[in-house]
Amino acid sequence: MLESPHIPVLPNEVISLLQLAQNPKPMWFLDGTAGEGGHSKLILKTFPEAKLILIDRDAVMLERAKKEIQKEFGSLDRVHSFQMNFSEVDSTLLEEVGCFGLDGALVDLGVSLFHFLHSGRGFTFKNEEPLDMRLEPQVGQKTAADVVNYSSVLHLKKVFWEYGEERWALKIANNIVQSRHKKKFETNTDLVKLVEASIPRKFWPKESHPATRIFQALRIEVNEELIHAEKGIRTLANCLQLGGVLTCISFHSLEDRIVKWTFRDLKATNEFEILTKKPILPTDQEIKENRASRSAKLRGLRKIEPIKESRWEK
């Protein structure tokens, strides 16, 4: 079966923000979530003399991105790739490749369509797959099945409520604990059936599957996504050179809240300015052409000369 071509989310808007970098000849960019390589290709095309540091925590995705870039540009001469979480990037790693400050950085906090359609790790409801959900399966941290099979009722409720904003969190957590006494959860469909049975049909959402919030919550818990998001935003902001721009795309309210609050914290240091008073949203036309963009929000931040307080303001 042929895969449909990957379409990057908010492509023009991301590039417009990155072009606000104040170095007259921007040389170094970082894509902290390589995914399918869509945004990376746009950056390399827009800044033909610049180099790109390519990061992804999933080895499979990193290889896919590199393949896409090579197909487009004929080589990877301008690309330095690392398999790691973008929250682990630091000045030492950048200096290894000769970068002493980023002109621009992008993190796309969404999970690639590839993970849902082709990874076989239980992110989807469509095919029966092991209940895994790890973005770095080779690292060996807990799987979604481990969380479901061995967490207490209270922990499960907390995960479902805080990371999924699921109103039926307690009932689903109770039913999981009762059910796993008889048989442990092994596949995504085991969990889907339980969630469907736990929520009365009249309360099922019209636009999405009733297990969507539970799956989102488990994915965030397994991969510690929100912890890495905040840490990574702070880290990358501090890797910018003066005038450098950091852009972040989020896909649900929890992520967007973290981006918004972290940007505000950084602005309070007087070393950054926020470039987006409100998040930039996809146009109706983009949503029509790329349904995956419908919940995307983009925010931007720029590093500036520290604003010195006068002694009268103290």
pLDDT at res. 1: 36
CB 127 within 8 A of CB 117: no
265 token code pair? 């914290």
Specify the amino acid at residue 58.
Answer: D
- Which tens digits make up the pLDDT trace of 97-155? 999 999 999 999 876 565 566 566 777 887 899 999 988 776 657 999 999 999 999 99
Is position 115 annotated in a ligand binding site?
yes
pLDDT at position 139, please?
63
Q: Which amino acid is at 194?
A: L
Residue-level pLDDT at 119: 62
Find where tokens 């940007």 sit: 263
Interhelix angle 153-164/169-182, nearest 10 degrees: 140
C-alpha distance from residue 290 to each of 9, 46, 287 (Å): 8, 22, 5
Number of domains in the chain: 2
Pairwise CA distance, residues 209 & 124, whole Å? 10
CATH number of the domain residue 307 falls in: 3.40.50.150
Distance CA 40, CA 14 (A): 11
Residue 56 marked ligand-binding: yes
118 labelled binding-site residue? no
230 and 203 part of one domain: no
Q: Are 219 and 237 within one domain?
A: no
Q: Is residue 249 part of a domain?
A: yes
Q: Is 39 annotated as a binding residue?
A: yes
Residues 134, 266 within the same domain = no
In this structure, the number of other CB atoms found within 10 A of the CB of residue 234 comes to 14
Average pLDDT for residues 197-205, to the nearest whole number?
95
Residue range 195-203: mean pLDDT, rounded:
96
Do 39 and 164 lie in one domain? The reply is no
Identify which of 104, 119, 27 has the alpha carbon closest to the alpha carbon of residue 302.
104
206, 223, 240: which is the final residue of a domain?
223
Domain hosting 286: range is 11-114+225-313
